[in-house]
Structure 1
Amino acid sequence: MKAIKYLFSILAIALVCSACVDYSDASEAVTAKVQLQLPDVLKGHMSLEGHTVSLQLNGVTYSAQTDAAGVATFSNIVPDVYNISTSWDITSSEYNRITGSSQVNDGATVSGSLNAQLINGSQPLLLTTTLSVKRDIVISKIYAAGSKDKNNKRYVAGQYIELYNQSNDSVDVAGLYIGLLETDVPQAYTLDNLKTNYADSVVLVKQVFRIPTDKHYMVAPGGTVLLVNSAVDHSLNSPMEHSLLKADFEAKDVKGKMLNNPEVPALQNVFNIYSGISYMNILTTGQGVVIFRTSADISQLKLTYKFGKTSGTQYGLLPKRYIIDGVDFIRHKATGTDVGEKRLYGDIDAGYISINATAGLSGEVVYRKVTSTTAAGQSILMDTNNSSNDFQVSTTIAPRTF
């Protein structure tokens, strides 16, 4: 009985003491300030005022406009880890006037981001931005997840990558390269590792494919290029899949395990770290992709082992200057998406996109949002150089639809 009395006494003391602990600092709202910094080429040519800065947390977005000094002020913000971003477009004439360029383009985008940034109101946060010319051809969809077939077995034959012509003119995609970023866990190089060893000049690829150059492959305005591993009707095998019979190009499986369509032209496999895999080795949890053009011999890319290693798998070092567009499609873990697993620099993709499933096989496609439609009926896809803004996830969207 005495022991029970002692126990009640201890519990009472503990309750009193816990009532004395101040937890208010952890959730008390603060005022956060974000200082916008223009790219050097725009300083003195563009106002800092009137640009939208966004904070994102758990799918909720908070927005504020910058003042004349370039400061966006957020009131009553709960301290937490946020993703911060901004982007806006400038016209072709503005771009050429400011930069002195005579390059034909569809304008440019100013964008910047800070991922996984702690906001506690203690000091202003600096948000730097970069300037990128708008692309004619962009990556519009990546279907990496795969699904389950009618027998509830893993089904990945229907994976694909889709490209889209944003411009007002037909574009010849002959000779265009498609690079698949390395997908090791843990990753072969973090962005900090790349900075240390290569001064932010390269990205790591595991495979590179090329659209053939045997003739012109013209894509009309608003047209798509569908790149697949197996150009057959996959809807017959899984309700979450689609027919890829009308794909434009197919990565042929030389071992014959993947069903190929002889009527669909072959993608050329020009670089590959896998000796036994000739098709696109797309990871179901997420697959970063870049597209690029160059006259260099990509089969002779410089190679590197994992950071700090001198043996094992070697990856291709793709010069960043070649890249036209890139999507940082990284895995979603049970604990959330780790932005430390980004493979692309902020000037290629300031954000990232992930599916919801941790292992894939969910039928989820990542695809660009539509921002507007022209008088001619052409969809204009969102391209702010930030996949966190530009992309969303669907289990129903079909190839060549938006």
Structure 2
Amino acid sequence: MKNNTFIPLLIAIGVALCSISCQKITDSLDTKTIDYLAVDIEAIPVLSGISSTEGLPVTLTNYTEKHQISTTLQAGVTTIDSIIPGLYTINVDGELLVGTEKYLLKGSVANVLLVPGNQHVKVNIDGAKVGPLAISEIFYAGTAPFYFRNQFYEITNNSDELVYVDGLHFANLHPTIATTNLPIWPEEDQGAYTYAQRVWKIPGKGRDYPLQPGESFTIAQFAANHKLPQYNPNSPIDASLSEFEFNMNNPSFPDQPAVDMEHVFYNGRAAKGTVPQYLTSVFGGAFAIFRIPEDESYDPVGNPNLQTRDLGTTGTTLYAKIPLRYVVDAVEAGHNESMSAAKRVPTVLDAGMTWVGATYNSLGVRRKRIGQRANGTPILMDTNNSTEDFERQVVPQFRYHGQGIPSWSRAF
């Protein structure tokens, strides 16, 4: 009997106390006097090669109070004054120059309660190297009825310096199509890799393929004139002057004069596999170009540490690990705008997604032009966000923006 009386009494006291404290919190929002806080932000770089985040912009946003403060990170810990107590999202996002190399770095912490006694926040900063090369146009959707041999990928030197593309790697990432059922990768790899189904590379001895600022080259699935009767006269593209080709030794689609890409990896092997064709999804794949640092080697076939399964399945298919710091550019494409939440590419490489909205519609995606050099070659938009950077549903065309033709190209 005593217990039955005591419990309701406790509940009543608790309700009363809550009413008093909640009223105090409500009253504090309306008070004319605010005790501001000083908050310490410790930005911790987790990307290899980055030892300091000094100079990056940081923004603290209190969405409830519509209060925002932006400043620049200092070396070590950055102290920010005049913070209203409350719930904040902290974002670090910007470019950092390390020596001669540029990195795009990002980090965020959401819903941090900044109140007296909780005024030190750690933010992990990850990112990727910003390369001079940009994937400038992709045609993956194919042409009706069900013709996909005319896929191609154009890459432009978007910098102001000469670049040699010898040894540049090209990969299509896993999963092959955008899906909310994403793979599960090894936990210890988190934030360090992206994962490829197949990897190729441009041949050369190091200086065979110079690419001047504003010049571009094309890699074709099959470097033929697809408008010919034996292929598909409705094709929007003649790929016979492509610089490179993904040759799969298929007698029905014979090797063309374009330089053959070197095959690097497929399912744990250097061999191309038993199916004599290489196509990426007509719904839209995820693509990366990457380069190996001169003092490092990359062998995803011979080095088991550079292979992994999808741990979310029982399948035995092996995928190649690509260190994020190797990636020069990455683009993600999906079925349509609704698939933007089904990303495969880490946001530090591509924060968005592009699309053409249908298959076999003879349309592609193309990076936007934002300026030009003195010689008329284009400067292309490259914010590492494909939603913003690309025009969609365009009729594919080589060097649409007036890119230069490299001296070694057959199209020169």
Task: Please tell me the TM-score bracket, short chain as reference.
Answer: 0.5 to 0.7
Whether 1:270 and 2:268 are equivalent positions in the alignment is no
Contact map agreement 1:189 1:306 (CA 8 A) in 2:
no
Q: State the distance in 2 between where 1:322 and 1:43 align.
A: 20
**Per-residue deviation at 1:300?**
2.9
Q: 1:171 and 2:163 equivalent?
A: yes
Q: CA deviation at 1:254?
A: 1.2
> TM-score, normalized by length of structure 2?
0.64
Q: What is residue 327 of structure 2 aligned with on the other side? A: 323
The equivalent residue for 1:20 is none
Asked if the contact 2:366/2:394 (under 8 Å) is kept, the reply is no
**Aligned pairs for 1:258-337 within 5 A:** 258-261=253-256, 263-273=257-267, 275-277=273-275, 279-294=277-292, 295-300=297-302, 302=304, 303-332=307-336, 336-337=338-339
Normalising by structure 1, we get a TM-score of 0.66
Letter in 2 for 1:170: L
Aligned mates of 2:182, 2:382 — CA distance in 1 = 25
SS at match of 1:329: strand
Are 2:210 and 1:210 aligned? no
Contact 1:87–1:384 (CA<8 Å) still a contact in 2? no
> Which amino acid counterpart does residue 350 of structure 1 have in structure 2?
A
SS for the counterpart of 1:298 is coil
List runs of 5+ in structure 1 lacking aligned partners. Answer: 1-36, 54-63, 71-84, 118-126
Residues 45-93 of structure 1: per-residue CA shift (max 9 Å, x gap): 45658x9x9xxxxxxxxxx9965579xxxxxxxxxxxxxx9976x6xxx
| Coordinate RMSD, CA, aligned | 3.7
How much has 1:142 moved relative to structure 2? 1.6
Question: Structure 1's 238 and 111: CA in aligned 2 closer, same or farther, altered over 3 A?
Answer: farther
Code of the residue aligned with 2:361 in structure 1: it is S
Q: Distance in 1 between matches of 2:291 and 2:329?
A: 10
Q: Distance in 2 between matches of 1:351 and 1:270?
A: 28
Q: How many residues align?
A: 309
Cα deviation 1:275-313 (Å, max 9, x = unaligned) = 223543211001111111222223335433332334443
Q: Distance in 2 between matches of 1:184 and 1:68?
A: 39
Aligned to 2:171, what secondary structure does the other structure show?
A: strand
**SS in structure 1 of the partner of residue 301 of structure 2:** helix
CA distance in 2, matches of 1:384, 1:350: 9
Structure 1, residues 311-363: CA drift from partner, whole Å, max 9, x if none?
44332233333222111223338xx3151x31111111111222211xx1111
Whether the aligned pair in 1 keeps the contact of 2:178 and 2:344 (CA below 8 Å) is no
Contact 1:189–1:307 at 8 Å: present in 2 too?
A: no
Per the alignment, residue 140 of structure 2 pairs with: 144
Query: Structure 2: where are the runs of 5+ without partners?
Result: 1-40, 46-51, 73-90, 111-122, 402-412
Aligned residue in 2 for 1:354: 355
CA contact (8 A) 1:301 1:318 kept: no
Counterparts of residues 34-45 of structure 1 (less than 5 Å): 45=55
The answer as to whether partners of 1:165 and 1:222 remain within 8 angstroms in 2 is yes
Evaluate the alpha carbon distance shift between residue 312 and residue 257 of structure 1 in structure 2; reply closer, same or farther with a 3 A threshold. farther
| Partner secondary structure for residue 388 of structure 2 | helix
User: Quick one: which amino acid aligns to residue 373 of structure 1?
Assistant: Q
Q: Does 1:198 align with 2:189?
A: yes
SS state at 1:321 partner: helix
